[in-house]
């Protein structure tokens, strides 16, 4: 495996760009490929087997592009498919996501933690195992968020519809005394500024993008695979190329060309 080979990062849509930002910040000398499976978004209401099929198709494509590592920048896809991907590609580091239950349990003062996530993530065995392992003595209240991913996919980070939906989702958590909110989907960091306007200032918002970048860094170093020179990120989507190109400056911070992946 060449050190200058790219890292393949993918998500059900554009949400994983929040993780890609953290990877670029920590590993500025890595070549990166990002694939948004926006033609099949959202994953949260889909069956685990459907998600595994999508992840296999995307993983095979990223390997064809020469990827030296895979980052599953999606909590729902990680829950459904990361074990399958590690078995399918034993030669590659495969890094997944999981809701930040451990740091949230350590951070809460009220003992009440709220989780904003997709239905698929909240119903997964992986999430249940996280609660069993790290949430002892803490009350965890979960809130599925149907419709929120779709708004973010369209770049509606501050629209009235997004504000109204987000307010409706977090009010029950606040009413129960939640003082720590886990952003359990990689799309959600993009609406963190809006969320900060809705929840009290003392409520902590926690996501795991930086932790994923640290884990990737560690795995590449252990395999003597760190990159040596940056290259422009290559973007692909299974959805609307023009729409992704339109939201990239908003979510990624700069414009870029986007290619279509029909798989």
**Which residue out of 55, 74, 145, 178 is catalytically annotated?**
74
Question: Would residue 145 show up in a list of annotated catalytic residues for this protein?
Answer: no
Question: Would residue 74 show up in a list of annotated catalytic residues for this protein?
Answer: yes
- Tokens standing for residue 153: 């996919």
Name residue 236's beta-bridge partners.
35, 259
**Which residue out of 55, 145, 178, 185 is catalytically annotated?**
185
- Tokens standing for residue 119: 């239905």
Kindly report the three-state secondary structure assignment for every residue of the chain: CCCCCCEEEEECCCCCHHHHHHHHHHCCCCCEEEEECHHHCCCCCCCHHHHHHHHHHHHHHHHHCCCCEEEECCHHHHHHHHHHHHHHCCCCCEECCCCCHHHHHHHCCCCEEEEEECHHHHCCHHHHHHHHHHCCCCEEEEEECCCHHHHHHCCCCCCHHHHHHHHHHHHHHHHCCCCEEEECCCCHHHHHHHHHHHCCCCCEEECCHHHHHHHHHHHHHHCCCCCCCCCCCEEEECCCHHHHHHHHHHHCCCCCCEEECCC
Question: What CA–CA distance (Å, rounded) separates 155 from 243?
Answer: 9
Catalytic annotation, residues:
74, 185
């Amino acid at each position: 495996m060449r050190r200058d080979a790219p890292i393949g990062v993918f998500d059900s849509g554009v949400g994983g760009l929040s993780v890609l930002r953290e990877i670029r910040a920590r590993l500025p000398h890595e070549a990166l490929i990002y694939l948004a499976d926006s033609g099949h978004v959202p994953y949260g209401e889909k069956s685990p087997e459907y998600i595994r099929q999508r992840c296999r198709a995307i993983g095979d494509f990223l390997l064809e592009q020469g990827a030296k590592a895979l980052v599953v920048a999606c909590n729902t896809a990680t829950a459904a498919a990361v074990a399958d991907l590690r078995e399918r590609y034993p030669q590659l580091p495969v890094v997944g996501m999981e809701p930040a239950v451990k740091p949230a349990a350590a951070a809460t003062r009220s003992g009440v933690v709220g989780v904003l996530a997709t239905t698929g993530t909240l119903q997964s065995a992986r999430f249940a195992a996280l609660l069993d392992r790290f949430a002892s003595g803490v009350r965890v209240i979960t809130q599925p968020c149907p419709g929120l991913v779709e708004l973010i996919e369209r770049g509606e980070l501050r629209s009235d519809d997004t504000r109204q939906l987000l307010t409706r989702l977090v009010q029950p958590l606040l009413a129960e005394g939640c003082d720590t909110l886990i952003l359990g989907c990689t799309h959600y960091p993009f609406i963190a500024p809006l969320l900060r306007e809705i929840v009290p200032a003392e409520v902590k918002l926690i996501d795991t993008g930086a932790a994923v970048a640290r884990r990737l860094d560690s795995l590449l170093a252990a395999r003597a695979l760190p990159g040596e020179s940056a290259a422009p990120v290559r973007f692909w989507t299974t959805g609307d190329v023009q729409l992704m190109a339109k939201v990239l400056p908003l979510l990624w911070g700069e414009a870029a060309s986007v290619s279509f992946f029909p798989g």
